[in-house]
Amino acid sequence: MKKKKIAVFASGGGSGLQAIIDGCKEGKINAVVDMVISNNSKSKALQRARDANIAAFHFSSKTHPCGLDDAILATLAAHEIDIIFLAGYLKKVGENILDAYKGWIFNIHPSLLPKYGGVGMHGVRVHQAVIDAGDANTGATIHRVDTGYDTGEIVSQVTVPVEKGDTAETLSARVLKQEHVLLVETLAAICRIP
């Protein structure tokens, strides 16, 4: 089966991106990360892409004050991208991109959605909310991206127990390890779909 071409969108450190790159290189995912897009010119994700000889693009309202989504869509089309994966991307995806890639845009979120999703719920904020609520378990969710924030169809989840004495940071570190496993397993399954 032909390898799928993945575009990863990331805003920060890119550890999820690295898990996807490694999963592809190790043959666990029948795909190649063909390009990385970030809205943050200083994101480590862009550097990770360059280090792996992957096309890296900075697209933001600064680079494209008009027609940002059209520029992104044109770049995706030029690279013949099959799947878009949001790995810590903190911008909403435009409707024309959602339409062009309907059903083939995925996001990973550091909680068991539908809990602790939505606008502003990312990073340690999510883990602090879990701790503040006294939840016994948390985890990570991969879902299809739709027009809302963290509201699309759930594709896969992994559960992580909240331990006594956890801080947002310790919980975040444990969830992140499981996110990386979930990323590889889920993308492997997605890339088997013709």
Residue ranges per structural domain of the chain? 4-190
Whether the Cβ atoms of residue 120 and residue 84 lie closer than 8 Å to each other: no
DSSP state of 142: E
What confidence category does residue 194 fall into, taking pLDDT thresholds of 50, 70 and 90? confident
Q: What is the DSSP-derived secondary structure letter of residue 108? A: E
How far, in whole angstroms, is CA 66 from its chain's centroid? 25
The residue behind tokens 């799947």 is 83
Report the 10 Å Cβ neighbour count for 5: 16
Indicate the class that CATH gives domain 4-190.
alpha beta
> Is the whole model's pTM more than 0.85, yes or no?
yes
- Residue 79 among the catalytic residues: no
β-strand pairing of 31-38 with 4-9: parallel
Give tens-digit pLDDT for 130-188: 999 999 999 999 999 999 999 999 999 999 999 999 999 999 999 999 999 999 999 99
Is residue 32 within 8 Å of residue 24, measured between CB atoms? yes
From the list 58, 79, 109, 127, the catalytic residue is: 109
* Cα–Cα distance, 105 to 100 (Å, whole number): 10
